[in-house]
Structure 1
Amino acid sequence: MAREEALAAARDLLLSGGPAAVTLKAVGERMGVGHANLIHHFGSAAGLQGALMDRMVRDLAERIAAGLKDGAVALEPGRLMTAVFDAFGRSGASQMAAWLILAREQDRAESFAGVVRDLADRLAALAPDDARATERAQALVTTAAYMAFADGLIGPVLRPMLDAPEDLGRDLALKLTAALLAEP
């Protein structure tokens, strides 16, 4: 399917070259088609970029939902943190989120915000007997999002400077999360 192939090529370009690399010409070259074919599917470069942002938000939601499957997070918080860090880092959600923010794409940012709110609601629902479940869930989501976002953007540059292990950011987020959840 040409649309799916174009979105995959656009994501690869975003991850390898940043938002400026996602052009109709570059995606067409990667696919071996003219940019007119892409205009047919997306209408414009902005349409392609918007479709990519939407796809990445959906992918982020699916990855996080998988981390919550069967209440696994209550037993294994590392599973959720790994899903969030993988989504922000390897899958490019940090690049996408930075792009949304810098491009002032508030409409697209709202779909991202929906993913964040849904995650907090689902986490709070895992502890129905905890009067502070909503507050704790918000703290967990904020910690995970801040740290995974930063790790996805600057981690690949910062870790080698410090000769730090690849999972340092995730491990620090887990420690902070454990401390937040242990508060009475």
Structure 2
Amino acid sequence: MTISPTKRRKRSATEARDEALAAARSLLLERGPAAVTLANVGRAIAMSHTNVIHHFGSAAGLQTALMEAMIRDLADALGDAVSALYVDADAPTRLVDRVFDAFGKGGAGQLAAWLVLARELDYFDSLEQAVADLVAAVRARVPDSPDSEARIRDIVLLVAVSAFGDALIGPHLRRMLGQEAGAMRQLIAQILPLLIAPPPRG
């Protein structure tokens, strides 16, 4: 969705900050990290450059606040996926959808790429508990076997890295290959049951 400038209006400090972060997120998703500037955010929400600086201090402050907000959103999305794994009969497919949505529509793929390129790797520490919870939830779905712990971690790694890659270059590769939008999701959803089921005993 393209950001359209809005008319200036009175708003609380919290509203102004939230609107600025929403605009910054849209700029990141539509135009990339270079577009996340004080001027562009101010223009998008009809706020003066001075007021944007008042709320964030600097462009770096705005970008840091956006990173922190998006990391929290990603942790929440992973938490939703964890909850679904415990109660949903179709949990493996739902897990794929939720994680792919978080990295795609939710912007986590763009965020992760931005953090890596900016060498802001400390932000990933905030996801450690969410990932540990996801591992625990997958463990509850995987039958116990000598290699179950390795398969659990393989599942989490496969889904997360596939979702990240699909968010960044999936649309371009699918176009080259003549595949539909959900091709990668469907592939992972087909592979997942093979990883969940214990290997046949020889």
TM-score (norm 1): 0.90
Structure 2 counterpart of 1:136, from 151, 163, 188: 151
Higher helix share: 1
Deviations 1:89-131 (A, max 9, x none): 111110000001111102212213443233223322x249725
Hey, what's the Cα distance between the residues in 1 that align with 2:142 and 2:158?
Answer: 21
Aligned residue number for residue 79 of structure 1: 94
Question: 1:56 and 2:70 equivalent?
Answer: yes
Structure 1 counterpart of 2:179, from 151, 164, 171: 164
Question: 1:3 and 2:17 equivalent?
Answer: yes
Amino acid aligned to 1:166: A
Structure 1 counterpart of 2:48, from 18, 34, 52: 34
Identical residues among aligned pairs (%)? 48
Hey, what's the Cα distance between the residues in 2 that align with 1:91 and 1:145?
Answer: 14
Contact persistence 2:42–2:52 (CA under 8 A)? yes
Q: Which moved more, 1:114-123 or 1:98-107?
A: 114-123
Structure 1 counterpart of 2:113, from 86, 98, 113: 98
Aligned residue number for residue 88 of structure 1: 103
Question: 1:68 and 2:82 equivalent?
Answer: yes
Q: Which moved more, 1:20-29 or 1:34-43?
A: 34-43
Amino acid aligned to 2:161: Y
Residues 167 and 5 of structure 1: is their aligned pair in 2 closer, same or farther, counting only changes over 3 Å?
same
C-alpha RMSD of matched pairs (Å): 1.9
Structure 2 runs not aligned, ≥5 long: 1-14
Hey, what's the Cα distance between the residues in 1 that align with 2:74 and 2:175?
Answer: 26
Hey, what's the Cα distance between the residues in 2 that align with 1:150 and 1:45?
Answer: 28
Deviations 1:127-169 (A, max 9, x none): 4972555433211110011100000001121212222111111
* 1:48 Cα deviation after fit: 1.1
Aligned residues: 183
Aligned residue number for residue 4 of structure 2: none
Structure 1 runs not aligned, ≥5 long: none
Deviations 1:68-106 (A, max 9, x none): 325145642000110000010111110000001111102
Hey, what's the Cα distance between the residues in 2 that align with 1:169 and 1:110?
Answer: 27
Aligned residue number for residue 116 of structure 1: 131
TM-score (norm 2): 0.82
